[in-house]
Structure 1
Amino acid sequence: MYRIVFTQVLSRIDPEDIHHLTVGALRLLSATPVVRRLVHRRLAPRDPALRVRAFGVHFPSPFGLAAGFDKDARCVEAMSALGFGHVEVGTITAHAQPGNARPRLFRLVRERAVINRMGFNNAGAAAAAKALGRTRGVPVVVGVNIGKTKVVPESQAADDYVTSAKELAPLADYLVVNVSSPNTPGLRDLQAVELLRPLLRAVKEVADGTPRRTPLLVKIAPDLADEDVDAVADLALELDLDGVIATNTTISRKDVSSTETGGLSGRPLKARSLEVLRRLRARVGDRLVLVSVGGVEGVDDVWERLLAGATLVQGYTGMIYEGPLWAWRINRDLSRRLRRHGVADVRQIIGRTAG
């Protein structure tokens, strides 16, 4: 049914308008306690075999929502109720900013992909902190993804990230430093180890100082050269980070029909995202939590990423093409596959095919 609605109606409407309508509806769901609890009871993951523990946090399922959908932490409860094992909000910057000019979001239906050049549009760290500080009516694991304010020069980037971290780290189950979006000028330059080291060290000091010590991860781009992937992995170990999220969107346009600028997500990213995951696993083993994102469309992709060494898997673009029951179906199918393989705990398959 959803695919018919998407093809006949949704695909004909501006994608950013659809996004705002969707977030509005989900905010209404989050604010309606009875409906929210009913949906959560029906769709949230409950199979004990799906539970994982990463960096001291318990997740009801390894499959979660990637950053980019809920930029201002407005509908975390609704997304948890729809079946996501965790919800990563953001990217959030220290100061509110409007992002880039519209149009800035483009569907590539034939390729089951999306190009965005949103530019970290968000209401700022203080507004997100206010939203995250509200009492939650259903359980939800929330990651907070932070980035650089566009007008802040590279020389002041660490201070900018620290400002966000001070606001948000105490409210997050884990914190992510995003230095890999292609839509903020100069941001990806911060992935260079000599620039990334002091930035991560400064944010980690804040995260370590929260009452529960907030786990810290770094999110990298798929467009890094292999030796740079290795360098970031080594730096994460050196600084005792908790994990790496791989990967963000790509600037590559291989095998796609559009030349729009921005970050490409969805099916075309699948192969490189998996390649980076395997390289990271070979480099760090199980010493870091690896979160795989990019081109995840269904249970086959989630299964493959877990076998390759990911403890957690994230998706977003797939939901645009599969609809609101997407996470629920992945959890259902993952539970069935575990039983079919005689596996009582999803943790038993993590890294099974890693070299």
Structure 2
Amino acid sequence: MTPALASALMPLMRFLDAETAHGLALKALSLGLAGSSAPDRHASLATTVMGLRFANPLGLAAGFDKDAAAILPLLRLGFGFMEAGTVAPLGQPGNPKPRLFRLTEDQAVINRMGFNNKGVAPYLERLKALPRPLPGIFGANIGVNKEGGDPVRDYPALYTALAPYADYVTINISSPNTPGLRDLQGEEKLAEILGAMPARTVPFLVKLAPDLSDAALPGILDVCMAHGVSGVIISNTTIARPASLRSAHATEAGGLSGPPLFERSTAVLREAYQHAAGRLIFIGVGGISTAEHAYRKIRAGASLVQLYTGFAYGGPALVPRLLDGLAALLARDGFTSIEQAVGTAA
């Protein structure tokens, strides 16, 4: 099956509830039923970030493949990189269902999954079993359990366990669906966690929320820089509800993702780049569904970008379409490499 055919069949999934459809899509992907696409289709999109060579800057965000069940098939869709997780030390069921909602009129999603995952042990076994080298860059996204979690203990332990099998590791301190997690973004608590991290063997990133105040962002970035963080992912989902939302599910509790998040997440990205350009790298995520969206993130300061909701709606065919469009935008503006465009509108 080709990516285009897989995407053409996706409307049939709309007859299922969102979480069931997601599970079936992930199963089909794990079986390789979505086909493949070349990640290196445009030389201008290749880039080196954090010492790692990416065939292109387009990645799949954490949350789509929580348990590292489909890393190879997902990378084979043409992504330059992907993150699996968020994985916690112990398996946990997450929040009660229903907890995933399509806002079809807004091309958006609200989730309150609550870090449902099977735990680090089976996740690690899947990583160990993967054939190397992988066809793209792989990042492990880590978090803490809702019950009994200790961030100062658990983040360093997870990094130590997973770093030998990942190209980079991201700590998730910004999901709105685990009580108290976003409090870890405070300068004092974040410094305590980062100060406990072991010596870096692979790059280490922090994922932030879009709901941080403008006043809080510089201090958080300063803490990251002081503790050897390689980069920051901006952003996670938002608890805000823009007035433009039309779906009946707009009032559901949880994190909102998709196009309604784009402007705020891009504004936070631009502010972060202005504060820490050259000292931190940035991955832009939030609302990307077109090549123009990806390009705006890059020009706002992102060296790399990630999809989640756009991929859930657009399917595998979206990946080559975005890459072709991004290469055309670079050529239009006289750039011969993606690196030349980073931050040019910041």
TM (norm. structure 1) is 0.91
Per the alignment, residue 190 of structure 2 pairs with 196
User: Deviation per CA, 1:86-111, whole angstroms, max 9, x where unpaired?
Assistant: 01110010111111111110000011
Q: Summarize the Cα distance change of 1:344–1:4 in structure 2 as closer, same or farther, 3 Å threshold.
A: closer
* Superposition pairs of residues 182-331 of structure 1, within 5 angstroms: 182-203=176-197, 205-206=198-199, 208=200, 213-255=201-243, 256=245, 257=247, 258-331=250-323
Which one of 13, 18, 22 corresponds to residue 19 of structure 1?
Answer: 22
Q: Secondary structure at the match of 1:314?
A: strand
Taking the aligned partners of 2:294 and 2:258, their CA distance within structure 1 comes to: 14
Which one of 68, 79, 86 corresponds to residue 81 of structure 2?
Answer: 86
Taking the aligned partners of 2:288 and 2:26, their CA distance within structure 1 comes to: 21
Taking the aligned partners of 2:335 and 2:155, their CA distance within structure 1 comes to: 41
Q: Summarize the Cα distance change of 1:3–1:84 in structure 2 as closer, same or farther, 3 Å threshold.
A: closer
Taking the aligned partners of 2:28 and 2:9, their CA distance within structure 1 comes to: 17
Taking the aligned partners of 2:26 and 2:131, their CA distance within structure 1 comes to: 17
Q: Is the 8 A contact 1:2 1:322 kept in 2?
A: no
Taking the aligned partners of 2:312 and 2:77, their CA distance within structure 1 comes to: 14
User: Deviation per CA, 1:146-181, whole angstroms, max 9, x where unpaired?
Assistant: 01111025xx22102222222212211111111000
Q: Say which structure is richer in helix.
A: 1
Taking the aligned partners of 2:58 and 2:111, their CA distance within structure 1 comes to: 23
| Alignment-mate amino acid for residue 54 of structure 2 | F
Taking the aligned partners of 1:90 and 1:136, their CA distance within structure 2 comes to: 19
Q: Secondary structure at the match of 2:91?
A: coil
Which one of 53, 62, 77 corresponds to residue 72 of structure 2?
Answer: 77
User: Deviation per CA, 1:63-98, whole angstroms, max 9, x where unpaired?
Assistant: 100000011111111111111110111001011111
Q: Secondary structure at the match of 2:102?
A: strand
User: Deviation per CA, 1:173-206, whole angstroms, max 9, x where unpaired?
Assistant: 1111110001101111111111111112223x15
Corresponding position: 1:333 with 2:328 = no
Per the alignment, residue 120 of structure 1 pairs with 115
Q: Is the 8 A contact 2:75 2:82 kept in 1?
A: yes
The gaps in structure 2 that reach 5 residues or longer are none
Aligned length: 337
Q: CA deviation at 1:302?
A: 0.8
Identity of aligned residues (%): 42
Q: CA deviation at 1:12?
A: 2.1
| Alignment-mate amino acid for residue 15 of structure 1 | A
Which one of 79, 92, 95 corresponds to residue 97 of structure 1?
Answer: 92
Q: Secondary structure at the match of 1:133?
A: helix
Per the alignment, residue 143 of structure 2 pairs with 147
| Alignment-mate amino acid for residue 164 of structure 1 | L
| Alignment-mate amino acid for residue 187 of structure 1 | L
User: Deviation per CA, 1:36-56, whole angstroms, max 9, x where unpaired?
Assistant: 9xx44x443332211111111
The gaps in structure 1 that reach 5 residues or longer are 30-34
Taking the aligned partners of 2:43 and 2:28, their CA distance within structure 1 comes to: 30
Which one of 171, 175, 183 corresponds to residue 181 of structure 1?
Answer: 175
Taking the aligned partners of 1:165 and 1:126, their CA distance within structure 2 comes to: 13
Q: CA deviation at 1:6?
A: 4.6
TM (norm. structure 2) is 0.93
| Alignment-mate amino acid for residue 23 of structure 1 | L
Q: Secondary structure at the match of 1:64?
A: strand
Q: Is the 8 A contact 1:45 1:331 kept in 2?
A: no
Taking the aligned partners of 1:43 and 1:60, their CA distance within structure 2 comes to: 9
Runs of 4+ in 1 over 3 A off after TM superposition: 1-7
User: Deviation per CA, 1:6-33, whole angstroms, max 9, x where unpaired?
Assistant: 55x322211111111111111111xxxx
Q: Is the 8 A contact 1:126 1:167 kept in 2?
A: no
Per the alignment, residue 32 of structure 1 pairs with none
Cα root mean square deviation, aligned: 1.7
Q: Summarize the Cα distance change of 1:131–1:324 in structure 2 as closer, same or farther, 3 Å threshold.
A: same
| Alignment-mate amino acid for residue 48 of structure 1 | A
